[in-house]
Structure 1
Amino acid sequence: MTRIIASLGPAAAGAFFMISAGALFAVVNSLLQYGAMVHGLSSAKLTFWQYLIAFLFSLPWLWANGLGALRTKSFGFHLLRVVFAVGGVQLWAAGLAHVPIWQAIALIMLSPMFVTLGATYFLSEEATLSRWAAVATGFAGGMLILAPWSDAFTPYALLPVGAAALWASSSLVAKKLTNTESPESLTVYLLLLLTPFNAVIAWEGGLTLDVGPSGLLLICTGLLTALANYALVRAYSLADAAYLQPFDNVKLLFNVTLGVAVFGFYPPGSLWIGAALIIGASSWLLSQESGGQRRAA
């Protein structure tokens, strides 16, 4: 398998790993939704075990990179980044417990819009008219998917939107940290701090790992989360983000397919219109970001 991937070349291998990450995350999302809707597991417990098990599978890498990467002069910003990330994880899992997966995954793709807004106001990046138009287009797509005017609308659908905003905030802090911190430092602090924060949130409801189907589900979720993150890192190490974006968008199809197969969640036609607006706007924003970085270099 390794030889086959190596023979593809960096661009094709990057696309392979990005598509693989999307497929793995789609299975993780379905397992989280199944654990909440069928087994009645709380979202806090689901996320605690998901990231604890993923952390345990990441220990060899952490051992190899952790000691040197722990040196930092910006611990407060590392902590702030993890707080935002934990909030996003909690809202995402809570959303999956209540809304169809097709709606949740489409709304989480609003994250680049929030990144652009945050970069304008908190990182003092240039806000051009075309960027504002892209943000407005993305949010228009989000409104089509939310459909707050319809009888089917539920406030729980806002949870993935909140998760997108918090993950965008985490990304903005990470972007600020890259001025002084290494990628290894960013990864190590995220892995080390996620589990304690998730444990505090889940403590009241209990942290025991049940024996039986629900326990196996949690173990599989953690393992697949570790594999998905590995595939994502490999993809970005092989190819540029702008090139990989179209392959990342394939995750929508994976999630919709599993939602139909496992839960019978058939999306309405408005999903595809809204998703097209979000994907188009986010892809344009990413291409602008990539172009700006090349000009700066």
Structure 2
Amino acid sequence: MALPEPQPAPVATPASSPPANQALVAIVIRLFAAISITAMFACVKLASNHGVHVLESVFYRQLTGVLVLIPVAVAGPGMALLRTSIPWTHAGRMVIGMVAMSLNFLSFALLPIAEATAIGFMVPIIATLLSIFLLHETVGLHRWGAIAAGLAGVLIVVQPGSGHIPLAGALVGIAGVAITAWVSIIIRKLGETESPVTTMFWFSLSSMIPLGIAMLFVGKMHDAETWAIIGLMGLFGAGAQLGITWSLRLAPVSVVLPMDYSSLIWAALAGWLIWENWPVPATWIGAPLIIGSGLYIAWRENQLARQRRG
């Protein structure tokens, strides 16, 4: 998550393996979501180049989410699905989520798209660290090793002091990842009582209040090309959000998660085609360490969940 605010940390799903055809459909949907996420962030970067304020981009992204989720709820289980008995918990999630999303959008405006994407892969690594303190989970030697490898990968990508990428952008990206990981912990707790659509809807709707106020100060008119970019950004973001949720209805996280990391390929292609910016070798060295760490953490959590089920 984040996805959306680049994506919540993967939580192992201790369900039995889905039928092969159902798993294949889930993988294809998740691949579509990964491409959509990359396209959304490419639009965020393009919009920034056209003078669109980050908070404007966040506002239109969230507005599209509300407009998409309402008909989805009506066409499916009905508007009753959007009811909640814990509005203040959703409000707290909204505040933290807005900070995370704004920082993530800003990081893509400041950094090359492939490097920003690689830094975003840190979410499951940081979420595992936070789970120790916030959820009092026990992390064994295997996952500690994966965390260390992932952090080493980030250092390789960022190369502090080398001038390889803007330091301010790297710090913004890392801060966005850390807060997104915090959001993923909150979403994990909300998932005990709330459906994914309910959580996404209230996040999008409640964020309209602070973002609407912000738009009084940063909102402005744009030319037709810029409005088209903004519209595509919202549609790609909503499509990614729905794709992530739909894929998890068909198959466990451990089945669909690898598709998320294809975002680096799409980001590299987008950077080359749009900005003529190909990732430097350090990115291709560090990113696999980050990706491998995230995949191992998800696999390990899945194994532990199966053991607990007996």
Same fold per superposition (TM over 0.5) = yes
2:23 and 2:250 in contact (8 A); partners too: yes
Is 1:169 matched up with 2:182?
Answer: yes
Q: Which segment drifts farther, 53-62 or 103-112?
A: 53-62
Which string of whole-angstrom CA distances, capped at 9 and with x for unpartnered residues, describes residues 78-123 of structure 1? 2222222111110111112211001100000000011101100110
Is 1:220 matched up with 2:232?
Answer: yes
1:70 and 1:188 in contact (8 A); partners too: no
- Measured in 2, the distance between the counterparts of 1:78 and 1:54 equals 16
CA-atom RMSD in angstroms? 1.9
- Measured in 2, the distance between the counterparts of 1:286 and 1:265 equals 31
Correspondence for 2:3: none
- Measured in 2, the distance between the counterparts of 1:68 and 1:233 equals 15
- Measured in 2, the distance between the counterparts of 1:285 and 1:11 equals 21
1:146 and 1:157 in contact (8 A); partners too: yes
Aligned-pair identity in percent equals 23
Structure 2 residue matching 1:9: 3-state secondary structure: helix
- Measured in 2, the distance between the counterparts of 1:170 and 1:152 equals 29
Is 1:25 matched up with 2:37?
Answer: yes
- Segments of 5+ residues of structure 2 without an aligned counterpart are 1-18
- Measured in 2, the distance between the counterparts of 1:212 and 1:274 equals 39
Cα–Cα, structure 1 residues 230 and 99, in superposed 2: closer, same or farther, change >3 Å? same
Residue 187 of structure 1, CA deviation: 2.8
Correspondence for 2:59: 48
Correspondence for 1:134: 146
Match for 1:111 among 110, 118, 123?
123
Correspondence for 1:58: 69
- Measured in 1, the distance between the counterparts of 2:23 and 2:82 equals 29
Residue 275 of structure 1, CA deviation: 0.6
Structure 1 residue matching 2:137: 3-state secondary structure: coil
Residue 186 of structure 1, CA deviation: 2.0
1:1-297 alignment, distance < 5 Å: 9-37=21-49, 39-63=50-74, 65-72=78-85, 74-154=86-166, 155-206=168-219, 208-297=220-309
Residue 68 of structure 1, CA deviation: 4.3
> Structure 1-normalised TM-score?
0.90
1:15 and 1:244 in contact (8 A); partners too: yes
Which string of whole-angstrom CA distances, capped at 9 and with x for unpartnered residues, describes residues 151-184 of structure 1? 2342122212111111111110111222333434
Residue 294 of structure 1, CA deviation: 2.2
How many residue pairs are counted as aligned between the two chains? 288
> Structure 2-normalised TM-score?
0.87
